[in-house]
Amino acid sequence: MSEVRTLVIDGRDVAANSDQTLLSVARENGIAIPTLCHLEGLTDIGACRLCMVELEGSKKLLPACVTQVQEGMRVVTSSERLLEYRRRVIEMFFLERNHVCAVCVANNSCELQSAARALSLTHFELAPLHPDVAVDATHERFVLDQNRCILCGRCVRVCDEIEGAHVWDIRGRGANARLVSDMGTPWGESTTCTSCGKCVQVCPTGALFEKGRSVAEPKARRPYVPYLVGHHRRA
């Protein structure tokens, strides 16, 4: 049984059901909190730490996506400190793998890119890690490019919780953590993948994408070449 709770977010009085999270109440009231690992309809895991908010009377920051509302909470969602931390989170997402927006299939439809824009992230201070990571193009329709994976786990959860196939998992620890299909077999050899494409749809970046969309794939029209460079004149 959910009951009504009242709380204050960014100075505004808001009402919520007791089973709601801070994130859902905030969004309901038009207060934007950036997220990457959260996706409506999937279990929240509190991993990207973008949605951290301040709670009055507490020194600890709270992840809005997994914090249940409580009566009388006074929450701040965008202090100078929070914005600074969020910029740092986005910066580290970029530096962790090899992101090159200009040649990315997700350019202009990328959640990481738009979060960076929204936070006015203009430059990097920390060092890029430049890991040597793989691209798996063995699937007939889709590609996994680890260079762009931010380990948000949305694909893992959508495949497990919605499609029920549980193809994806994370393997390895820390900087060696990698998205893997079927316990580490190439995606194309997966016996559990239904090729439903849900993972591709929920991927916030260009890590999972459909073939034929990448910037390298459009074909030049070779038959026109002789006309362009004037082969016929020499003949």
Partner 1 sequence: MTGASGTEGAVARPTRARRQAEPLVPQGPARASAHVCQAAGCLSMGSDTLFAELKERVLASGARDVAVKRVGCLGLCSAGPLVEVPEQGRMFERLDQPGGVPLDELVASLTGGALGGRELGEEPFYSRQVKVVLERSGRVDPEKIEDYVADGGYEALTKAMTTMSPDEVIDEVVKSGLRGRGGAGYPTGLKWRTVAKAAAGPEGKYVVCNADEGDPGAFMDRSVLESCPQQVLEGMAIAAYAVGASRGYVYARAEYPLAVKRLTTAIRQAEREGYLGREVLGTRFDFQVEVRIGAGAFVCGEETALLASIQGGRGTPRPRPPYPATSGLWGCPTLINNVETFANIASLVERSGEAFASIGTERSKGTKVFALTGAVTNTGLIEVPMGLSLREIVFDIGGGLAEGRKFKAVQTGGPSGGCIPEHLLDMTVDYETLSQAGSIMGSGGMIVMDDTSCMVDVARYFMDFCREESCGKCLPCRVGTQEMYLLLNRICSGRAGMVHLARLEELATMVRATSLCGLGQGAPNPVFSTLRYFRDEYMAHIQDQVCPAGVCQIEGVPAVAGTHAGSHGGER
Tokens of 233: 């004149």
**Cβ-proximal residues to 3 (8 Å cutoff; 6+ apart), any chain:** 17, 18
From residue 142 to residue 181, what is the string marking binding to partner 1 with x (rule CB under 8 A)? Answer: --------xx-----------------xx-xxxxxx----
Instruction: Region of 209 please: left (phi>0), alpha (psi -120 to 50) or beta.
Output: beta
Strand ranges (DSSP E) for the chain?
4-9, 12-17, 52-55, 61-63, 74-76, 135-136, 142-145, 168-171, 178-181, 208-210
User: CB of 212: closest distance to partner 1 in angstroms?
Assistant: 31
Establish if 47 lies at the interface with partner 1 (CB under 8 A): yes
Establish if 218 lies at the interface with partner 1 (CB under 8 A): no
Stretch near partner 1 under the rule CB under 8 A, chosen from 61-69, 103-111, 159-167, 186-194: 61-69
Establish if 80 lies at the interface with partner 1 (CB under 8 A): no
Q: Which of 42, 95, 101, 196 binds partner 1 (CB under 8 A)?
A: 95
Nearer Cβ to partner 1 (115/142): 115
Nearer Cβ to partner 1 (27/88): 88
**C-alpha dist (Å) from residue 168 to 8, 89, 129, 144, 154:** 39, 24, 24, 11, 10
For residues 81 and 155, what is the distance between their CA atoms, to the nearest angstrom? 31
Binding site for partner 1 (CB under 8 A): 45-49, 52, 60-61, 63, 66, 68, 84-85, 88-89, 92-93, 95-96, 125-127, 129, 150-151, 169-170, 172-177
